[in-house]
Homo-oligomer: A and B are copies of this chain.
Amino acid sequence: MDRTLTIGALTRELGVTARTLRFWEDQGLLEPLRVGTKRLYGPRERTRAVLVLRGQRLGFSLAEIREIIGLYDRPAEQGGGEARQLQLLLDKIALREGELKQKRQDIEATLKELDGVAAGCRDRLAQLAARKAKRA
């Protein structure tokens, strides 16, 4: 049992087209293995693709999603000292968390307002039903 998928299999699993997966790869979001010319997607690529879809549902651009996913990859000790790198990462995470909490607030507000409208609808429906019952 091989845990790697062909592009067709992955498109069916995720509900996206092959064009999309290749485009994401072009944008540096995925890097499937190559067997000859064909692509093979392992668990890591599959996970990443799922994260891309989640990011898209949240309205992030592919560029932003690439950055966010990048936060999961440890900052492999490039330059400037590990502590500094870690602090930079923490700062970036804090930024993203701020955005997400703002979105959550927006959602709560919208849900409340929609609930208000829905309640009004149900009230009015109840009125109509009562009137109808009275006529009977």
Contacts and interface: CB of A to CB of B under 8 A. Distances in A.
Interface of A: 54-60, 68, 71-72, 82-83, 86-87, 89-90, 93-94, 96-97, 100-104, 106-107, 109-111, 113-115, 117-118, 121-122, 124-125, 128
Contact of A83 (B103, B104, B125): B125
Q: How many copies does the complex hold?
A: 2
Give the 4 A-B CB pairs with smallest separation, nearest first: A59-B59, A86-B121, A54-B106, A93-B118
A57 B106 contact: yes
A88 B3 CA distance: 45
Nearest to A110: B100
25 contacts: A54-B110, A56-B59, A57-B59, A57-B106, A58-B103, A59-B59, A71-B114, A72-B113, A82-B124, A82-B128, A83-B125, A83-B128, A86-B121, A87-B125, A90-B121, A90-B122, A93-B114, A93-B118, A100-B107, A100-B111, A100-B114, A101-B111, A103-B103, A104-B104, A107-B107
